[in-house]
Every structure is written in C-alpha cells, then in structure tokens.
Amino acid sequence: MPQDIFRALKQVHRVSQNTDGLFNCWGGQKYNKQKFSEAIEHENYELTAPHLSDIIFDEAKSTIVSRNSNAQIDSGGFGKGLAINAIREILDSYKVHDALISFGGSSIYAKGQHPYGPYWPISIPHYYKTDSHALELKLYTTCVSISGHHPGQRKVKPHGHVFHPENKHPVDRNRVAIVHGPDAVTAEVLSTAFLMAPSNRMTSIAQAFSLYAIYVLTYDEGHEVNLTFKSIEHEEVTQA
Amino acid sequence: MKKLPRREFLKIAGLIAGSSIVASNFLWLKDIDAEIDTDRDIKLGIIGIGSRGKLLAEILMDIPGVHIVALADDYLPHLEEGKALIGKEVRGYSDHRSMLDKEKLNAVVIATPLHEHARHIVDAIEAGCHVFCEKTLALNIDQCNAVYQIAKGSGKVFYGGYQRIFDLKYLKAFEMISNGDIGGVRQIRGFWHRNDDWRRIVPKPELERKLNWRLYHDYSCGLMTELAVHHLQVINQMFNTRPEAVWGVGSINHWKDGRDALDNVNLVYKYPGDTHMVYDAMISNRHYGLELQVLGSKGTIELETGRIWYEFPEPAPGILQMLHHLEKRIFQSIPIGGPSWVPETAIKEKEGWVLPNNLEDDGTRLQIESFIKDVRKEEVNPFLLDQAYDAAISTLMGFESLHTGKVVQWPDNAFII
C-alpha cells in the first residue's frame, strides 16, 4: 500500500496498543452491521473482530496482514485526525501562522493564535443547557478531539455508535471524552478509548500519553454534567 | 427576478390561504387557487381610466371571459388612451351615468379621484352592477356612511382596492403572527416616504385641481387617503380591530406651492389592548421608502418586504459565532466542541423571509381575479365592505387630528360594525 497510508495506519495501531486494547479500528466488517442496524438482538453483539495482535505490519513490503479474516478498517475513529495532520503540513508549507480547522466541531486544530488574543479559546457546550458550557480549552498549535453521544441522537439511532472491543456492546451514552494535545490522530484515538475506559483504568492509560490533557465528562440522570476524570492538573499542553 | 409559473404560484397561494388561521380570517380567499371559470361572460365597464384605471384594465384584459365593453372618463385624453389600450370595440363615455344607463353591465371598476367615489359607487350599485372601487371608500364620514348603507343592502359584490389582503407575503406573515411566532404585538410602525412633488403635468392651468386632485382637500385627504389607508386597512384586518383614538401632527414644510395637502405627517394610533401604531408619511425624502413593521416580544416582521427577525435566535454554529466575533474584534470562547457524528443542523441567519422572495406580487392581480370569480358566482362577501369602511374611517380620523391638533376618537357618527 502507499507509504503514507501505511505510516498512518501504523501510527494508529501503535497508539491503539497503548490504550490497553480499548481502541480497535480493525473490526469494521462486523461493526458496520451493528452500527447501522435498526433492531439489535443481544446475541448479535458477540462480534469476532480481530485482536490487535492479529494485525501484522511488514515494513519492508509496506503491507498489513491480518490473521483474522473479519478484519476491515473503520476509519471513523481516526480519519479526521489524519486529515488534520495533512492540512497542518499544507499550512506549514504555505507559512500560515494562525488558523483554526474544525471538522464538524469534533476534531479541531488551532495553529498559532486568535487575531485578538494569545490563543484560540473554545468551549465544549453543555448538552442540556444551551446558555452554558461544560469545559473551556485554550488551543495554541494544538489539537482537540471530542467523542460522545449527543442526546438528540437517541431519537434517530437505536444505540450508541461505538462498540466496546472487549464486551462487544454499544458504549453507554452518558459520557463525553475530550483529548487535547499535539497530534490529531492520537487525540482522536484516545477520545474514543476514553469513551469506554473503565474508571479504574483511566489513570494508567493516561500515563502513556503525558503530552495530552484528557477529560471525561459524565451526564447524570438530572442532566447535570460532572468532570469525572482529568489527566493533568494544568491546562497547558505541549504544542504540535 | 424570476417569476413563478402561474400554476405554481396559485399552488402556493392555495397552501397559504388554506391554512386554518388564514382561511378563517380571510374568508374571501377560499377559491384563490382555483382557475378562472369561464362559463359566464362578464360585461364590465371602467369609470376612471387614468394611470390606475389602465393598470387594472390590463389585468382584466388577461382574464378569460371578461369583456371591457365601456369606459367612462370626463377627461378626454385619458378616455382616448383607455380606448387605445383596450381596442376599437370598447365604447367611451364622458359621463359615467350615460354609460351605466346605456350599457347592460355586470360589473364596474372605479378608479376615479376620491371625491367622486361615493357618487360613482352609489350610481353603479343602483344600476345593478357589482363594484370594485379603488381606495379610499369616500372623502368624508357622511359619504362613507351613505355608501356603506347602500352597498350593504344591495346584494352586490363590493371590493375596495386594498390589494395587500391578497398579497401572499402579508398572508403568510399574518399566519405567523397569529401563531405567536413573534410573540405579543405591542407596537406597529408604518411609513411611506417619497421624494417628489406628487404632481402631474397640467396642460392648462384650469385643469390643475382636476389632474392634481390629490393635493386639494375638496378632492382628497392627501397622504392619508392615498397612502396611509393601505397600511391602516392591513392592521385593522390583521388584528380584527379598529383604532380607538389617534393624535397627529402635520405640516407643509417642503412643497409650498399652494397645495392643501400636507407633505409631512406623523401620527400615533391607539388600538385596543394598548397596542400603538406609529405612522408617518412624507414626500421630501425617500431613503426609508415604504414599510410596515410589526414589533413583537419575540420578533419583528416587515410586511412590505416579507422579512422576519427573531429577538432570541438559536445560537449560531460555533464557527459562525467565531466569524461574528472576528468581525467585531471580540476575543471570546466559541462553543465549537461537540461529539462526532452529530448532524450539523445549520441555523439560519437571524434575518429570514416569510416567503421565498421570488414571489413578487403585490396582490393586485389575485384581488382582481377574486373579484371576477365572486361576480360570476354573485357571491357577496360582506367583510370586504366592512373593512373598506373601517379603513376609511380610521384614515379620516387621522386626517382630522392632523388638521385640528386634537386627539380624535372613533367618531360618534361612524358605524361600529
């Protein structure tokens, strides 16, 4: 396969391995059947997606081999990050110093600073209070990825769109994971992983990504939002 | 601007007029989307074939089964122009009575100076004709009362020339206002501004008052009966009401050429429920043009252009908010971050249109067609006469206040319909 695709997938795979198995983009064939199914029966949750160890990268041949025939790449959890990294190269080549790139608000890259301030300020809206926000971030040549389930989707989607690679069930819909750091692909993979990470494993996973600020927001039944995990105390993160 | 095909236009008209709120308040619109029935020819005469008369004639000539067989105008150049427009077969009369006596007309369209309206309407109805008369109903309250009483009991179709109650923008706006889209309406602002002397070219000095009748009080009430009446009629109709009182100030402060008619007027009408209508008209500045603004607690509608603004719009998408901030040099956080795969339901600009703005039609054509449909069916809608009467009285109240400087209540000698 082309070198740039190979390198990108290898990066995704490497980051995935550091998520304690919580991010797996190789189960697309099975996953897609579930993702868009209107009515899911419980037994259909038993997916047989490849394990990360089933995927073998051959540097010399620039090929990827799977030991599991169900392997199919689902780029939904990292594709926008790849696009942002490609855009960053273009912006750098044209010596654009200040810019903000947003893919639907869920993958954002801010380069340089706001025209009227020292950084790019963004906020994560509160789902249930339109005049309020749940979190504020300062971006300065950094990336943010947000994963979660908007409550409005419950009207049109039978279940959440992310499946847990360990228990094969759709992930609960009351959580939002936000990752702020230097690389867009890594931020995307981590935000998906933290959407399903058990609370007792969050700290250990976050330790492998010390350059990233990871936040987990949880909505309770009263529609109040709580910051249930924060990986670093200070807001500043390392620039790209 | 692209004009919609007629069938498509009528379809939209039918949808708007068919909504329950519009249909129950604008009863005369029930067949608005029906094609013209041609099973019965209509013999029609026009009294007054000046500029407005000719415009109405052109519309009438397009309607199948309508035959303009006679014209009456006591100003010969207009009569000749009218005959040239319509064709050789049309008969011309310098006296409307002769026309009514000699022609067996089904209907008459009147587009004469205001002081002639009462006489022309009464004569036409007594000659057995259905009547369409341009605004305003008549020159004073006594004339309005006389016309109203005769027309009311005649069994004849009567239409006043208030095309805005057939204008789709207005109808859609009425539906939105009735639905509470802009909240409670507490103030209405109307204005009509031009910048010209309002004169017509007079070939001989003795024709000054005849041709420039709008400038003299024996013939017209000036800006009130020629302009303001349109907006007063709309507000009365939309809110199913009539003003309780009005106070106004007026002057001739620009065109000081011997005219009676004020060239600069400002009025405040008080409606039931303490809703106010602020109105002004002038003919020495046209910057703001013509508009009727309905101000609600949740939004504003401008009826002439069919635009709407909301007081509390949904927040714009984050990126749009950021662009607004940049334009205003604001450094502020934008609510951009959201989970993936949420559909981006774009939020419209704060300003919107009550209808697609390619529906350019001021209602005149629909109104004339509606008149012909009713004439064919001999279906009398009394509300149209009632409205024409109320609009005229509202206008004359303002005229009186402008000239006396006093607050004028709904007149004791006017009917309360």
Min mean pLDDT across A114-118, A209-213, B21-25, B88-92 is at: B21-25
pLDDT of residue A57: 94
Q: In the predicted model, is pLDDT for residue B141 greater than 60?
A: yes
Q: In the predicted model, is pLDDT for residue A130 greater than 80?
A: no
Enumerate the residues of chain A whose CB falls inside 8 A of the CB of residue B342: 104-106, 150, 152-153
The answer to whether the CB of B111 falls within 8 A of the CB of B75 is no
pLDDT of residue A31: 64
Ordered DSSP codes for chain A: --HHHHHHHHHHHHHHHTTTT-----BHHHHHHHHT-SS--GGGG---PPPGGGEEEETTTTEEEESSTT-B--GGGTHHHHHHHHHHHHHHHTT---EEEEETTTEEEEES--TTSSSEEEEEE-SS-TT-EEEEEEESSEEEEEEE--GGGGGT-SS-S-B-TTT-SBPPSSEEEEEEES-HHHHHHHHHHHHH--HHHHHHHHHT-TT-EEEEEEE-TTS-EEEEEES-SSS-----
Torsion sign, CA atoms B137, B177, B248, B401: positive
CA-nearest of B242, B200, B173 to B52 is: B200
Q: In the predicted model, is pLDDT for residue B372 greater than 90?
A: yes
pLDDT of residue B349: 46
Q: In the predicted model, is pLDDT for residue B246 greater than 90?
A: yes
CA–centroid distance for B127 within its chain = 27
Determine whether the interchain pair A147/B339 forms a contact, defined as Cβ–Cβ distance below 8 Å. yes
Q: In the predicted model, is pLDDT for residue A154 greater than 90?
A: no
Query: What average pLDDT does chain B have?
Result: 91
| In chain B, % of residues over pLDDT 70 | 93
pLDDT of residue A157: 55
* B35 vs B166: which has the higher pLDDT: B166
How far are the Cα atoms of A55, A124, A174, B342 from residue A153, in angstroms, in the given order? 33, 17, 12, 7
User: Searching chain A, which residue's CA lies closest to the CA of residue B345?
Assistant: A104
Q: In the predicted model, is pLDDT for residue B240 greater than 70?
A: yes
b vs e for B287-305, b when ≥16 Cβ sit within 10 Å of the residue's Cβ? eeebbbbbbbeebbbbbbb
pLDDT of residue B15: 81
Determine whether the interchain pair B333/A100 forms a contact, defined as Cβ–Cβ distance below 8 Å. no
pLDDT of residue B352: 75
Mean pLDDT of A156-179: 70
Q: In the predicted model, is pLDDT for residue A207 greater than 50?
A: yes
User: Searching chain A, which residue's CA lies closest to the CA of residue B312?
Assistant: A131
pLDDT of residue B375: 95
User: Searching chain A, which residue's CA lies closest to the CA of residue B328?
Assistant: A116
pLDDT of residue B314: 63
At B273, the amino acid letter reads G
Global pTM exceeds 0.80: no
* B370 vs A157: which has the higher pLDDT: B370
The verdict on B202 touching A (C-beta cutoff 8 Å) is no
Question: What is the residue whose two structure tokens read 């009528």?
Answer: B10
pLDDT of residue A85: 93
Q: What is the pLDDT of residues B384-412, one digit of tens each?
A: 999 999 999 999 999 999 999 999 999 99
User: Searching chain A, which residue's CA lies closest to the CA of residue B342?
Assistant: A150
Mean pLDDT of B129-156: 97
* B9 vs B275: which has the higher pLDDT: B275
In which band, very low, low, confident or very high, does the pLDDT at A175 lie, cut at 50, 70 and 90?
Answer: confident
Q: What is the pLDDT of residues B182-225, one digit of tens each?
A: 999 999 999 999 999 999 999 999 999 999 999 999 999 999 99
CA-nearest of B162, B282, B143, B174 to B232 is: B162
Enumerate the residues of chain A whose CB falls inside 8 A of the CB of residue B337: 105-106, 108, 122-125, 135, 137, 144, 146, 178
The ipTM of this complex is 0.79
Determine whether the interchain pair A102/B336 forms a contact, defined as Cβ–Cβ distance below 8 Å. yes
Determine whether the interchain pair B335/A178 forms a contact, defined as Cβ–Cβ distance below 8 Å. no
In which band, very low, low, confident or very high, does the pLDDT at B344 lie, cut at 50, 70 and 90?
Answer: very low
